[in-house]
Amino acid sequence: MTTMEQIQNALTEALKQHSFTQAELAEKIGVTQSMISHYVSGRKMPALDTLSRLCTVLDLDANEILCVERPKMY
């Protein structure tokens, strides 16, 4: 089961990899900087449409942010 801590760690790492500030990311996905702060701190989860924009801007699969392992295909 995915925890909020795993999600906030994944978002924090993605921000670092892209060298975005919270304010820059907020502007790119159309939310306030304080909402990004809430997501990164684990106080709030992004809505599905916001999660989709986060994935697009951070070039991530939703499974990466949600820390979901894909089953292996044989």
- In 3D, which of 67, 73, 74, 52 has the Cα closest to residue 13? 67
- Which pLDDT tens digit goes with each residue over 16-70? 999 999 999 999 999 999 999 999 888 998 899 999 999 999 998 888 777 777 6
Give me the residue spans of the domains in the chain: 4-65
Please state at what angle helix 4-18 crosses helix 48-58, rounded to 10 degrees.
40
For the full predicted model, state whether its pTM sits above 0.85.
no
CA gap 45, 47 in Å, rounded: 7
Q: Which CATH class is domain 4-65?
A: mainly alpha
